A and B are shown apart, each in its own frame.
Chain A
Protein backbone atom coordinates (compact mmCIF):
# COMPACT_ATOMS: atom_id res chain seq x y z
CA UNK A 1 0.00 0.00 0.00
CA UNK A 2 2.72 2.40 1.02
CA UNK A 3 4.68 1.51 -2.07
CA UNK A 4 1.73 2.20 -4.31
CA UNK A 5 1.19 5.57 -2.73
CA UNK A 6 4.82 6.59 -3.08
CA UNK A 7 4.78 5.41 -6.68
CA UNK A 8 1.79 7.59 -7.33
CA UNK A 9 3.44 10.57 -5.76
CA UNK A 10 6.42 10.11 -8.03
CA UNK A 11 4.32 9.51 -11.13
CA UNK A 12 4.45 12.25 -13.74
CA UNK A 13 1.38 14.39 -13.42
CA UNK A 14 2.16 16.40 -16.52
CA UNK A 15 4.06 15.14 -19.50
CA UNK A 16 5.19 17.24 -22.45
CA UNK A 17 6.40 15.15 -25.38
CA UNK A 18 8.17 16.50 -28.47
CA UNK A 19 6.10 19.66 -28.45
CA UNK A 20 6.45 21.96 -31.46
CA UNK A 21 4.80 25.22 -32.32
CA UNK A 22 5.36 27.53 -35.29
CA UNK A 23 4.08 31.03 -35.84
CA UNK A 24 3.73 32.80 -39.16
CA UNK A 25 5.15 36.29 -39.00
CA UNK A 26 5.22 38.34 -42.22
CA UNK A 27 5.13 35.19 -44.29
CA UNK A 28 8.05 33.58 -42.41
CA UNK A 29 7.64 30.59 -40.19
CA UNK A 30 9.15 31.12 -36.78
CA UNK A 31 9.75 28.08 -34.65
CA UNK A 32 8.54 29.14 -31.21
CA UNK A 33 8.91 25.66 -29.74
CA UNK A 34 10.98 22.87 -31.18
CA UNK A 35 10.80 19.33 -29.81
CA UNK A 36 10.29 20.34 -26.20
CA UNK A 37 9.95 17.41 -23.79
CA UNK A 38 9.86 17.21 -20.00
CA UNK A 39 7.87 15.74 -17.15
CA UNK A 40 6.48 17.25 -14.01
CA UNK A 41 6.02 14.94 -11.04
CA UNK A 42 3.06 15.22 -8.77
CA UNK A 43 3.80 17.73 -6.03
CA UNK A 44 6.81 19.12 -7.84
CA UNK A 45 7.55 22.80 -8.51
CA UNK A 46 8.97 23.26 -11.98
CA UNK A 47 10.37 26.58 -13.15
CA UNK A 48 10.67 27.44 -16.82
CA UNK A 49 13.38 30.03 -17.32
CA UNK A 50 14.39 31.76 -20.48
CA UNK A 51 15.00 35.05 -22.25
CA UNK A 52 12.00 36.84 -23.70
CA UNK A 53 10.98 35.33 -27.01
CA UNK A 54 12.11 31.81 -26.11
CA UNK A 55 8.56 30.48 -26.23
CA UNK A 56 8.11 29.93 -22.51
CA UNK A 57 4.76 31.71 -22.38
CA UNK A 58 3.68 29.87 -25.54
CA UNK A 59 4.63 26.63 -23.82
CA UNK A 60 2.51 27.50 -20.79
CA UNK A 61 -0.41 28.57 -23.01
CA UNK A 62 -0.32 25.21 -24.79
CA UNK A 63 -0.22 23.31 -21.48
CA UNK A 64 -3.15 25.42 -20.29
CA UNK A 65 -5.06 24.49 -23.45
CA UNK A 66 -5.37 28.09 -24.68
CA UNK A 67 -3.42 27.50 -27.87
CA UNK A 68 -3.19 24.65 -30.39
CA UNK A 69 0.21 23.15 -31.14
CA UNK A 70 1.75 21.76 -34.31
CA UNK A 71 3.55 18.63 -33.15
CA UNK A 72 3.98 16.40 -30.12
CA UNK A 73 1.55 16.23 -27.24
CA UNK A 74 0.78 17.31 -23.70
CA UNK A 75 -0.55 14.71 -21.28
CA UNK A 76 -2.22 15.66 -18.03
CA UNK A 77 -2.62 12.57 -15.85
CA UNK A 78 -2.20 10.50 -19.04
CA UNK A 79 -4.95 12.33 -20.89
CA UNK A 80 -4.09 14.60 -23.84
CA UNK A 81 -4.77 18.30 -23.27
CA UNK A 82 -7.08 19.82 -25.86
CA UNK A 83 -8.76 22.70 -24.08
CA UNK A 84 -8.59 24.76 -20.88
CA UNK A 85 -9.98 23.18 -17.73
CA UNK A 86 -10.10 23.62 -13.96
CA UNK A 87 -7.61 20.79 -13.37
CA UNK A 88 -4.99 23.17 -14.80
CA UNK A 89 -5.47 26.44 -12.93
CA UNK A 90 -3.72 29.45 -14.46
CA UNK A 91 -2.44 32.60 -12.76
CA UNK A 92 -1.82 35.22 -15.42
CA UNK A 93 0.95 37.77 -15.52
CA UNK A 94 -1.39 40.72 -15.49
CA UNK A 95 -4.50 41.28 -13.52
CA UNK A 96 -7.25 39.14 -15.03
CA UNK A 97 -9.77 39.30 -12.18
CA UNK A 98 -13.34 40.06 -13.19
CA UNK A 99 -13.78 43.73 -12.24
CA UNK A 100 -17.57 43.42 -11.89
CA UNK A 101 -17.25 40.80 -9.16
CA UNK A 102 -16.09 41.25 -5.59
CA UNK A 103 -13.02 39.46 -4.30
CA UNK A 104 -15.20 36.71 -2.79
CA UNK A 105 -17.25 36.39 -5.97
CA UNK A 106 -14.07 36.12 -8.02
CA UNK A 107 -12.77 33.36 -5.77
CA UNK A 108 -16.11 31.55 -5.91
CA UNK A 109 -16.49 32.01 -9.68
CA UNK A 110 -15.33 28.53 -10.67
CA UNK A 111 -17.40 26.89 -7.91
CA UNK A 112 -20.54 27.18 -9.92
CA UNK A 113 -22.41 23.95 -9.49
CA UNK A 114 -22.66 21.64 -6.53
CA UNK A 115 -21.62 22.47 -2.97
CA UNK A 116 -24.67 24.68 -2.49
CA UNK A 117 -24.50 28.33 -1.60
CA UNK A 118 -23.39 27.76 1.99
CA UNK A 119 -20.79 25.20 0.98
CA UNK A 120 -19.33 27.56 -1.58
CA UNK A 121 -19.18 30.39 0.90
CA UNK A 122 -17.28 28.26 3.38
CA UNK A 123 -14.79 27.19 0.70
CA UNK A 124 -14.30 30.79 -0.42
CA UNK A 125 -13.77 32.07 3.10
CA UNK A 126 -11.34 29.30 3.86
CA UNK A 127 -9.41 30.04 0.67
CA UNK A 128 -9.33 33.79 1.37
CA UNK A 129 -7.89 33.03 4.78
CA UNK A 130 -5.24 30.79 3.23
CA UNK A 131 -4.00 33.57 0.96
CA UNK A 132 -4.17 36.13 3.76
CA UNK A 133 -7.19 38.08 2.52
CA UNK A 134 -9.72 37.42 5.26
CA UNK A 135 -12.01 40.41 5.60
CA UNK A 136 -11.45 41.57 2.01
CA UNK A 137 -14.17 39.43 0.45
CA UNK A 138 -16.53 42.31 -0.27
CA UNK A 139 -13.90 44.55 -1.92
CA UNK A 140 -13.94 45.12 -5.65
CA UNK A 141 -10.70 44.32 -7.49
CA UNK A 142 -10.11 47.98 -8.35
CA UNK A 143 -9.97 48.82 -4.64
CA UNK A 144 -7.11 46.46 -3.78
CA UNK A 145 -3.37 46.53 -4.53
CA UNK A 146 -1.51 44.59 -7.21
CA UNK A 147 -0.15 42.07 -4.73
CA UNK A 148 -3.59 41.46 -3.27
CA UNK A 149 -4.99 40.97 -6.78
CA UNK A 150 -2.46 38.22 -7.43
CA UNK A 151 -3.46 36.63 -4.13
CA UNK A 152 -7.05 36.59 -5.36
CA UNK A 153 -5.89 35.20 -8.70
CA UNK A 154 -4.12 32.42 -6.81
CA UNK A 155 -7.13 31.79 -4.56
CA UNK A 156 -9.65 31.53 -7.39
CA UNK A 157 -7.76 28.66 -9.01
CA UNK A 158 -6.54 26.88 -5.85
CA UNK A 159 -10.11 26.74 -4.55
CA UNK A 160 -10.87 24.43 -7.49
CA UNK A 161 -8.19 21.97 -6.33
CA UNK A 162 -6.26 21.88 -9.62
CA UNK A 163 -3.95 18.97 -10.40
CA UNK A 164 -1.43 21.52 -11.63
CA UNK A 165 -1.06 25.23 -11.01
CA UNK A 166 0.30 27.10 -14.03
CA UNK A 167 1.74 30.57 -13.56
CA UNK A 168 2.98 32.94 -16.25
CA UNK A 169 5.41 35.38 -14.64
CA UNK A 170 2.82 35.98 -11.95
CA UNK A 171 4.95 38.26 -9.81
CA UNK A 172 6.83 40.17 -12.52
CA UNK A 173 4.68 43.29 -12.20
CA UNK A 174 5.03 43.54 -8.40
CA UNK A 175 7.52 45.57 -6.40
CA UNK A 176 10.41 43.71 -4.77
CA UNK A 177 8.97 43.53 -1.26
CA UNK A 178 5.54 42.37 -2.45
CA UNK A 179 7.19 39.84 -4.73
CA UNK A 180 9.15 38.39 -1.80
CA UNK A 181 5.93 38.15 0.22
CA UNK A 182 4.22 36.37 -2.65
CA UNK A 183 7.13 33.93 -2.90
CA UNK A 184 6.70 33.09 0.77
CA UNK A 185 2.96 32.65 0.33
CA UNK A 186 3.40 30.41 -2.68
CA UNK A 187 5.99 28.26 -0.92
CA UNK A 188 3.81 27.78 2.14
CA UNK A 189 0.67 27.06 0.09
CA UNK A 190 2.56 24.64 -2.13
CA UNK A 191 3.75 22.69 0.92
CA UNK A 192 0.38 22.68 2.58
CA UNK A 193 -1.51 21.53 -0.50
CA UNK A 194 1.36 19.48 -2.01
CA UNK A 195 0.50 21.43 -5.09
CA UNK A 196 2.09 20.66 -8.43
CA UNK A 197 3.29 23.97 -9.86
CA UNK A 198 4.67 24.98 -13.25
CA UNK A 199 5.78 28.58 -13.45
CA UNK A 200 7.41 30.70 -16.11
CA UNK A 201 9.91 33.38 -15.23
CA UNK A 202 12.79 35.37 -16.63
CA UNK A 203 14.19 35.93 -13.15
CA UNK A 204 17.03 33.57 -12.21
CA UNK A 205 16.73 34.12 -8.48
CA UNK A 206 13.01 33.58 -8.50
CA UNK A 207 13.49 30.31 -10.38
CA UNK A 208 16.10 28.97 -7.94
CA UNK A 209 14.21 30.23 -4.90
CA UNK A 210 10.95 28.51 -5.77
CA UNK A 211 11.62 25.53 -8.01
CA UNK A 212 12.59 21.92 -7.43
CA UNK A 213 13.82 21.81 -11.01
CA UNK A 214 14.43 24.56 -13.53
CA UNK A 215 14.06 24.10 -17.27
CA UNK A 216 16.33 26.58 -19.02
CA UNK A 217 15.22 27.49 -22.52
CA UNK A 218 16.89 29.19 -25.44
CA UNK A 219 15.31 31.15 -28.22
CA UNK A 220 15.02 30.81 -32.01
CA UNK A 221 14.26 28.04 -32.10
CA UNK A 222 12.66 27.66 -28.66
CA UNK A 223 14.36 24.61 -27.20
CA UNK A 224 15.32 23.23 -23.84
CA UNK A 225 18.96 23.92 -23.21
CA UNK A 226 19.29 22.16 -19.90
CA UNK A 227 17.24 21.05 -16.91
CA UNK A 228 18.72 21.89 -13.51
CA UNK A 229 17.77 20.14 -10.29
CA UNK A 230 17.72 22.55 -7.37
CA UNK A 231 18.76 20.36 -4.45
CA UNK A 232 18.95 23.15 -1.91
CA UNK A 233 17.26 22.82 1.48
CA UNK A 234 14.27 25.05 2.19
CA UNK A 235 13.97 27.80 3.26
CA UNK A 236 16.59 28.75 0.73
CA UNK A 237 19.30 31.18 1.58
CA UNK A 238 19.83 33.52 -1.34
CA UNK A 239 23.38 34.31 -0.18
CA UNK A 240 24.58 30.75 0.31
CA UNK A 241 27.50 29.53 -1.77
CA UNK A 242 25.42 26.74 -3.29
CA UNK A 243 22.74 29.20 -4.34
CA UNK A 244 25.28 31.49 -5.98
CA UNK A 245 27.03 28.57 -7.68
CA UNK A 246 23.77 27.35 -9.13
CA UNK A 247 22.87 30.86 -10.18
CA UNK A 248 26.22 31.20 -11.97
CA UNK A 249 25.94 27.94 -13.88
CA UNK A 250 22.33 28.64 -14.75
CA UNK A 251 23.34 32.04 -16.00
CA UNK A 252 26.02 30.52 -18.19
CA UNK A 253 23.51 28.07 -19.57
CA UNK A 254 21.05 30.86 -20.22
CA UNK A 255 23.43 33.23 -21.97
CA UNK A 256 26.10 30.85 -23.18
CA UNK A 257 28.76 32.90 -21.37
CA UNK A 258 29.87 33.63 -17.82
CA UNK A 259 28.23 36.50 -15.92
CA UNK A 260 29.77 39.90 -16.34
CA UNK A 261 30.18 39.70 -20.10
CA UNK A 262 26.60 40.66 -20.74
CA UNK A 263 24.93 43.58 -19.05
CA UNK A 264 21.37 42.25 -19.07
CA UNK A 265 19.55 39.57 -17.09
CA UNK A 266 19.78 38.28 -13.58
CA UNK A 267 18.88 41.46 -11.74
Chain B
Protein backbone atom coordinates (compact mmCIF):
# COMPACT_ATOMS: atom_id res chain seq x y z
CA UNK B 1 0.00 0.00 0.00
CA UNK B 2 2.65 2.48 1.02
CA UNK B 3 4.67 1.97 -2.11
CA UNK B 4 1.66 2.44 -4.36
CA UNK B 5 0.82 5.97 -3.30
CA UNK B 6 3.95 7.83 -4.45
CA UNK B 7 3.98 5.96 -7.76
CA UNK B 8 0.41 6.99 -8.38
CA UNK B 9 0.89 10.66 -7.55
CA UNK B 10 4.09 10.83 -9.57
CA UNK B 11 2.34 9.53 -12.66
CA UNK B 12 -0.51 11.99 -12.17
CA UNK B 13 1.89 14.95 -11.94
CA UNK B 14 4.02 13.81 -14.80
CA UNK B 15 2.46 15.68 -17.74
CA UNK B 16 2.77 19.15 -16.17
CA UNK B 17 6.18 18.51 -14.66
CA UNK B 18 7.42 16.91 -17.84
CA UNK B 19 6.48 19.96 -19.86
CA UNK B 20 7.72 22.66 -17.48
CA UNK B 21 10.77 21.16 -15.85
CA UNK B 22 13.06 21.01 -18.89
CA UNK B 23 12.54 24.77 -19.45
CA UNK B 24 13.03 25.90 -15.89
CA UNK B 25 16.81 26.12 -16.02
CA UNK B 26 17.01 27.82 -19.45
CA UNK B 27 14.44 30.41 -18.32
CA UNK B 28 16.38 31.07 -15.11
CA UNK B 29 19.60 31.48 -17.09
CA UNK B 30 17.85 33.93 -19.42
CA UNK B 31 16.52 35.87 -16.45
CA UNK B 32 19.96 36.10 -14.89
CA UNK B 33 21.44 37.23 -18.19
CA UNK B 34 18.79 39.95 -18.62
CA UNK B 35 19.30 41.09 -15.03
CA UNK B 36 23.08 41.33 -15.36
CA UNK B 37 23.10 43.08 -18.73
CA UNK B 38 20.15 45.45 -18.33
CA UNK B 39 20.73 46.24 -14.70
CA UNK B 40 24.06 47.78 -15.66
CA UNK B 41 26.10 45.30 -13.64
CA UNK B 42 28.04 44.18 -16.71
CA UNK B 43 28.76 46.61 -19.56
CA UNK B 44 27.07 45.79 -22.90
CA UNK B 45 30.36 45.38 -24.78
CA UNK B 46 31.04 42.36 -22.55
CA UNK B 47 27.49 41.10 -22.24
CA UNK B 48 24.87 42.56 -24.59
CA UNK B 49 21.26 42.24 -23.41
CA UNK B 50 19.07 39.39 -24.71
CA UNK B 51 17.04 41.76 -26.88
CA UNK B 52 20.13 42.83 -28.83
CA UNK B 53 21.22 39.23 -29.34
CA UNK B 54 17.70 38.41 -30.52
CA UNK B 55 17.84 41.23 -33.10
CA UNK B 56 21.24 40.03 -34.23
CA UNK B 57 19.88 36.50 -34.57
CA UNK B 58 16.92 37.72 -36.66
CA UNK B 59 19.33 39.51 -38.93
CA UNK B 60 21.69 36.52 -39.09
CA UNK B 61 18.92 34.08 -39.86
CA UNK B 62 16.32 35.98 -41.90
CA UNK B 63 17.86 39.10 -43.49
CA UNK B 64 18.80 38.93 -47.20
CA UNK B 65 22.50 38.05 -47.61
CA UNK B 66 24.74 41.00 -48.26
CA UNK B 67 22.67 43.56 -46.35
CA UNK B 68 25.14 43.37 -43.43
CA UNK B 69 28.35 41.54 -42.48
CA UNK B 70 26.43 38.64 -40.91
CA UNK B 71 23.06 39.05 -42.58
CA UNK B 72 21.48 35.85 -43.83
CA UNK B 73 24.56 33.73 -43.24
CA UNK B 74 22.83 31.26 -40.94
CA UNK B 75 21.62 28.72 -43.51
CA UNK B 76 25.03 28.45 -45.15
CA UNK B 77 26.93 28.30 -41.86
CA UNK B 78 24.56 25.75 -40.34
CA UNK B 79 24.67 23.52 -43.41
CA UNK B 80 28.45 23.66 -43.50
CA UNK B 81 28.69 22.81 -39.82
CA UNK B 82 26.11 20.02 -39.98
CA UNK B 83 27.94 18.52 -42.94
CA UNK B 84 31.17 18.44 -40.94
CA UNK B 85 29.51 17.02 -37.82
CA UNK B 86 27.56 14.52 -39.89
CA UNK B 87 30.60 13.35 -41.82
CA UNK B 88 32.80 13.04 -38.76
CA UNK B 89 30.12 11.39 -36.65
CA UNK B 90 29.26 8.89 -39.38
CA UNK B 91 32.92 7.95 -39.67
CA UNK B 92 33.18 7.54 -35.90
CA UNK B 93 30.08 5.30 -35.83
CA UNK B 94 31.29 3.22 -38.76
CA UNK B 95 34.56 2.48 -36.95
CA UNK B 96 33.63 2.69 -33.27
CA UNK B 97 30.50 0.55 -33.25
CA UNK B 98 31.90 -2.62 -34.86
CA UNK B 99 35.28 -2.36 -33.13
CA UNK B 100 33.59 -1.79 -29.77
CA UNK B 101 31.24 -4.72 -30.16
CA UNK B 102 34.10 -6.99 -31.23
CA UNK B 103 36.38 -6.00 -28.39
CA UNK B 104 33.52 -6.35 -25.92
CA UNK B 105 32.90 -9.95 -26.97
CA UNK B 106 36.34 -11.29 -27.87
CA UNK B 107 39.03 -11.24 -25.22
CA UNK B 108 41.94 -11.35 -27.62
CA UNK B 109 40.56 -8.40 -29.56
CA UNK B 110 40.18 -6.49 -26.32
CA UNK B 111 43.80 -7.25 -25.39
CA UNK B 112 44.85 -6.30 -28.89
CA UNK B 113 42.96 -2.99 -29.10
CA UNK B 114 42.58 -1.64 -25.60
CA UNK B 115 46.07 -0.38 -24.83
CA UNK B 116 46.35 1.43 -28.12
CA UNK B 117 42.87 2.93 -28.09
CA UNK B 118 43.02 4.09 -24.50
CA UNK B 119 46.48 5.49 -25.07
CA UNK B 120 45.23 7.54 -28.00
CA UNK B 121 42.18 8.50 -25.98
CA UNK B 122 44.39 10.05 -23.30
CA UNK B 123 45.62 12.63 -25.82
CA UNK B 124 43.36 15.69 -25.73
CA UNK B 125 41.70 16.29 -29.07
CA UNK B 126 43.15 19.77 -29.29
CA UNK B 127 46.64 18.27 -29.36
CA UNK B 128 45.76 16.74 -32.72
CA UNK B 129 44.89 20.11 -34.20
CA UNK B 130 48.41 21.13 -35.35
CA UNK B 131 48.99 17.71 -36.90
CA UNK B 132 45.58 17.74 -38.57
CA UNK B 133 46.32 21.18 -40.03
CA UNK B 134 49.61 19.93 -41.44
CA UNK B 135 48.05 16.78 -42.85
CA UNK B 136 44.71 18.01 -44.09
CA UNK B 137 45.02 21.78 -44.32
CA UNK B 138 42.35 24.21 -43.20
CA UNK B 139 38.75 23.22 -43.80
CA UNK B 140 36.44 20.25 -44.18
CA UNK B 141 38.96 17.42 -43.84
CA UNK B 142 40.62 18.72 -40.68
CA UNK B 143 37.29 19.32 -38.99
CA UNK B 144 35.92 15.92 -39.97
CA UNK B 145 39.12 14.30 -38.74
CA UNK B 146 38.90 16.03 -35.35
CA UNK B 147 35.18 15.35 -34.99
CA UNK B 148 35.46 11.67 -35.86
CA UNK B 149 38.50 11.19 -33.66
CA UNK B 150 36.75 12.72 -30.68
CA UNK B 151 33.41 10.98 -31.23
CA UNK B 152 35.04 7.60 -31.81
CA UNK B 153 35.99 6.99 -28.18
CA UNK B 154 32.62 7.27 -26.43
CA UNK B 155 31.01 5.26 -29.24
CA UNK B 156 33.68 2.57 -29.02
CA UNK B 157 33.57 2.42 -25.23
CA UNK B 158 29.77 2.33 -25.16
CA UNK B 159 29.60 -0.50 -27.66
CA UNK B 160 32.36 -2.42 -25.86
CA UNK B 161 30.69 -2.02 -22.47
CA UNK B 162 27.32 -3.01 -23.90
CA UNK B 163 28.69 -6.10 -25.60
CA UNK B 164 30.71 -7.10 -22.56
CA UNK B 165 27.86 -6.80 -20.10
CA UNK B 166 25.12 -8.65 -21.91
CA UNK B 167 23.72 -11.73 -20.24
CA UNK B 168 25.70 -14.62 -21.79
CA UNK B 169 22.57 -16.76 -21.59
CA UNK B 170 21.07 -14.57 -24.33
CA UNK B 171 23.72 -15.72 -26.79
CA UNK B 172 23.29 -19.33 -25.73
CA UNK B 173 19.53 -19.02 -26.05
CA UNK B 174 19.88 -17.56 -29.53
CA UNK B 175 22.28 -20.29 -30.65
CA UNK B 176 20.05 -22.95 -29.13
CA UNK B 177 17.12 -21.64 -31.19
CA UNK B 178 19.14 -22.13 -34.35
CA UNK B 179 20.76 -18.76 -35.05
CA UNK B 180 24.09 -18.59 -36.85
CA UNK B 181 26.90 -16.23 -35.89
CA UNK B 182 25.78 -13.33 -38.06
CA UNK B 183 22.17 -13.61 -36.96
CA UNK B 184 23.30 -13.74 -33.32
CA UNK B 185 25.11 -10.44 -33.75
CA UNK B 186 22.16 -8.61 -35.26
CA UNK B 187 19.26 -10.33 -33.48
CA UNK B 188 20.78 -10.80 -30.02
CA UNK B 189 24.09 -9.04 -29.38
CA UNK B 190 23.25 -5.58 -30.71
CA UNK B 191 19.71 -5.39 -29.25
CA UNK B 192 20.96 -6.63 -25.89
CA UNK B 193 23.81 -4.11 -25.88
CA UNK B 194 21.49 -1.26 -26.88
CA UNK B 195 21.36 0.87 -23.72
CA UNK B 196 25.15 1.27 -23.57
CA UNK B 197 25.41 1.71 -27.33
CA UNK B 198 22.85 4.54 -27.26
CA UNK B 199 24.67 6.25 -24.39
CA UNK B 200 27.90 6.05 -26.37
CA UNK B 201 26.25 7.48 -29.48
CA UNK B 202 24.75 10.39 -27.54
CA UNK B 203 28.04 11.23 -25.82
CA UNK B 204 29.75 10.91 -29.19
CA UNK B 205 27.36 13.30 -30.87
CA UNK B 206 27.77 15.82 -28.06
CA UNK B 207 31.53 15.77 -28.29
CA UNK B 208 31.27 15.92 -32.09
CA UNK B 209 29.77 19.40 -31.73
CA UNK B 210 32.53 20.44 -29.35
CA UNK B 211 35.21 19.45 -31.82
CA UNK B 212 33.27 20.93 -34.72
CA UNK B 213 33.79 24.36 -33.22
CA UNK B 214 37.44 23.61 -32.53
CA UNK B 215 37.95 22.56 -36.14
CA UNK B 216 36.17 25.64 -37.43
CA UNK B 217 38.12 28.06 -35.27
CA UNK B 218 41.12 27.53 -37.50
CA UNK B 219 40.07 29.90 -40.23
CA UNK B 220 37.50 28.21 -42.42
CA UNK B 221 35.27 30.68 -44.30
CA UNK B 222 31.93 29.25 -43.21
CA UNK B 223 30.34 27.39 -40.31
CA UNK B 224 28.98 28.35 -36.91
CA UNK B 225 32.39 28.08 -35.26
CA UNK B 226 33.91 30.30 -37.93
CA UNK B 227 31.18 32.91 -37.37
CA UNK B 228 32.01 32.99 -33.66
CA UNK B 229 35.72 33.35 -34.27
CA UNK B 230 35.25 36.14 -36.85
CA UNK B 231 32.99 37.93 -34.42
CA UNK B 232 35.68 37.96 -31.74
CA UNK B 233 38.06 39.75 -34.11
CA UNK B 234 35.34 42.28 -34.88
CA UNK B 235 34.38 42.71 -31.25
CA UNK B 236 30.82 41.48 -31.92
CA UNK B 237 30.02 39.82 -28.58
CA UNK B 238 26.35 39.60 -29.60
CA UNK B 239 27.31 37.34 -32.51
CA UNK B 240 29.45 35.16 -30.23
CA UNK B 241 26.63 34.68 -27.76
CA UNK B 242 24.13 34.06 -30.53
CA UNK B 243 26.46 31.48 -32.07
CA UNK B 244 26.84 29.69 -28.75
CA UNK B 245 23.07 29.60 -28.31
CA UNK B 246 22.51 28.38 -31.86
CA UNK B 247 25.07 25.60 -31.41
CA UNK B 248 23.34 24.60 -28.18
CA UNK B 249 19.95 24.54 -29.88
CA UNK B 250 21.16 22.70 -32.96
CA UNK B 251 23.07 20.22 -30.83
CA UNK B 252 20.02 19.53 -28.72
CA UNK B 253 17.83 19.11 -31.81
CA UNK B 254 20.35 16.69 -33.32
CA UNK B 255 20.42 14.68 -30.08
CA UNK B 256 16.63 14.53 -29.99
CA UNK B 257 16.49 13.61 -33.67
CA UNK B 258 19.03 10.84 -33.20
CA UNK B 259 17.29 9.41 -30.13
CA UNK B 260 13.97 9.68 -31.96
CA UNK B 261 15.41 7.93 -34.99
CA UNK B 262 16.90 5.18 -32.83
CA UNK B 263 13.47 4.60 -31.33
CA UNK B 264 12.56 2.93 -34.59
CA UNK B 265 14.39 -0.03 -33.05
CA UNK B 266 12.38 -2.12 -30.59
CA UNK B 267 15.33 -2.61 -28.29
CA UNK B 268 15.78 1.16 -27.89
CA UNK B 269 12.10 1.68 -27.12
CA UNK B 270 11.83 -1.20 -24.71
CA UNK B 271 15.12 -1.35 -22.82
Residues of A within 8 A of B (CB): 64-66, 83-86, 88-90, 92, 94, 96, 98-101, 109-110, 112, 140, 156-157, 160
Q: Please give, as numbers and ranges, the residues of chain B lying within 8 Å of A99 by CB-CB distance.
A: 270-271
Smallest Cβ-Cβ distance to B178: which chain A residue: A86
Question: Residue on B with the closest CB to A99?
Answer: B271
How many angstroms from the CA of A96 to the CA of B194 in the assembled complex?
Answer: 17
Contact B178 A98 (CB under 8 A): no
User: Are A66 and B177 in touch, CB under 8 angstroms?
Assistant: no
As a 0/1 sequence over residues 163 to 176 of chain B, the CB contacts with chain A under 8 angstroms (1 = contact) are 00001011011111
B170 touches A98 (CB 8 A): yes
Instruction: Write out the residue numbers on chain B whose beta carbons fall within 8 Å of the beta carbon of A112.
Output: 178-179, 183
For chain B, the count of residues having a C-beta within 8 Å of the partner chain is: 21
Other-chain contact of A109, B177, B192, B194 (Cβ < 8 Å): B177
> B172 touching A84 by the CB < 8 A rule?
yes
- Given A88-B176, A89-B176, A110-B177, check contact A100 B169 (CB 8 Å): no
Contact B172 A86 (CB under 8 A): no
B172 to A90, Cβ gap below 8 A?
A: yes
Q: Are A156 and B177 in contact (CB under 8 A)?
A: yes
Residue of B nearest to A66 (CB): B172
**Chain B residues numbered 166-214 whose CB sits less than 8 Å from any CB in chain A:** 167, 169-170, 172-179, 183, 187-188, 191-192, 194
* Minimum C-beta distance from B79 to chain A (A): 36
Docked Cα-Cα span, A202 to B267, in Å, equals 36
Which listed residue (A86, A90, A98, A110) contacts B192, Cβ 8 A? A98
**Distance of B106 from chain A, by nearest CB (Å):** 17
In the complex with contacts A85-B178, A86-B178, A140-B270, A96-B173 CB distance below 8 A: yes
**Closest B residue to A64 using CB positions:** B176
Pairs A–B under 8 Å by Cβ, sample size 15: A84-B172, A84-B175, A84-B176, A86-B176, A86-B177, A86-B178, A90-B172, A92-B169, A100-B270, A100-B271, A109-B174, A109-B187, A112-B178, A112-B183, A160-B177
Is B266's beta carbon under 8 Å from chain A? Answer: yes
Residue of A nearest to B266 (CB): A100
**Within 8 Å CB of A88, what residues of B?**
176
Contacts of B173 in A (CB 8 A): 90, 92, 96, 98
